[in-house]
Amino acid sequence: MARPLTLYYAPFSRASRGLWMLEELDEPYALRLIDIRKGEQKRPEFLAINPAGKVPALRDGDRTVAESAAICAYLADRFPDAKLAPAADAPERAAYLTWLFYAASNIEPAVMARANKWDVSAYQASWGGYESVIDNIAGAVRRGPYLLGPQFTAADVILGSMVRFGVSAKLIPNRPEFTAYIAHLEARPALQRAIKIEAEYVAQLKT
Ligand SMILES: N[C@@H](CCC(=O)N[C@@H](CS)C(=O)NCC(=O)O)C(=O)O
């Protein structure tokens, strides 16, 4: 039986990843706006959903998933007809999981460390240093159009969101590999819809 999907969402936040993922699916969903500027993410009602006090979180009926990468992976597995993840026994599953986890656990700390001039040795840091992370992801998207080649997956929602944001914020260099990757992502109708929905929410918050 269908369960209602609700994304706890704030525009211009990491919740945009969940919105894009939901737009890639042909499933009804609702957005529940959490105004993080007003601290709604720290209220007891929301902490009962995500004790970390962060957006995004997803409700699927009575089930809750938090963390943007987990939400995207969950939705890809929950709705296999959308083909947003290789099947568990498909050969491509290995690279899919590698990039999903690599993006979620390495890119943000590497970029934060660089931007904030944290003095961490590349040997000790789990991400291994900013340059090696950038080289690694550039190598991963070089073949294109997506991480796994022709198949777009939830790993592209996560990595792609980070690369799009990182390049636009000048936290990730605008290498030709990233420009081409971003162009492929931005050609997707689902991302275009998500960007439009986000703009409408931003306009709504300003009024
Ligand atoms: N690792 C989390 C990070 C989520 C996160 O950092 N959310 C921010 C918005 S981008 C947030 O809720 N900030 C409000 C706060 O910490 O009070 C994910 O990927 O979902």
Residue 1 pLDDT = 58
Band (pLDDT 50/70/90 cuts) for residue 67 is very high
- Assign 3-class secondary structure to the chain: CCCCEEEEECCCCCHHHHHHHHHHCCCCCEEEECCHHHCHHHCHHHHCCCCCCCCCEEEECCEEEECHHHHHHHHHHHCHHHCCCCCCCCCCHHHHHHHHHHHHHHHHHHHHHHHCCCCCCCCCCCCCCHHHHHHHHHHHHHCCCECEECECCHHHHHHHHHHHHHHHCCCCCCCHHHHHHHHHHHCCHHHHHHHHHHHHHHHHHHC
Band (pLDDT 50/70/90 cuts) for residue 205 is confident
User: Which ligand 1 atom is nearest residue 52's CA?
Assistant: 16
Domain boundaries, the chain: 5-83, 93-189
Band (pLDDT 50/70/90 cuts) for residue 2 is confident
Ligand 1: list residues with CB < 6 Å.
13-14, 36, 41, 53-56, 67-68
Percentage of residues in the chain having pLDDT higher than 90: 95
If you compute the radius of gyration of the chain from its CA atoms, what whole number of angstroms results? 17
Cβ atoms < 10 Å from Cβ of 184: 16
Which of 13, 17, 37, 54 is the pocket-test mutation for ligand 1 (most atoms within 8 Å of CB)? 54
Pairing of strands 5-9, 57-60: antiparallel
Query: CA 68 to CA 66: how far, in whole Å?
Result: 6
Residue 56 pLDDT = 98
Q: What is the mean pLDDT of residues 177-203?
A: 97
Fold observed for domain 93-189: Glutathione S-transferase Yfyf (Class Pi); Chain A, domain 2 (1.20.1050)
Which of 7, 20, 32, 55 is the pocket-test mutation for ligand 1 (most atoms within 8 Å of CB)? 55
Summarize pLDDT for 18-41 with one digit per residue, the tens. 999 999 998 999 999 999 999 999
Q: Is residue 57 over pLDDT 70? A: yes
Domain spanning 5-83: CATH superfamily: Glutaredoxin (3.40.30.10)
Tokens representing 73 are: 């992976």
**Is the CB of residue 195 less than 8 Å from the CB of residue 201?**
no
Residue 207 pLDDT = 72
CA-nearest residue for atom 5, ligand 1, is 54
Percentage of residues in the chain having pLDDT higher than 70: 100
Q: Which residues pair with 146 in a beta bridge?
A: 149
Cβ atoms < 10 Å from Cβ of 64: 15
Summarize pLDDT for 72-131 with one digit per residue, the tens. 999 999 999 999 999 999 999 999 999 999 999 999 999 999 999 999 999 999 999 999
Q: Is residue 55 over pLDDT 90? A: yes
Residue 51 pLDDT = 98
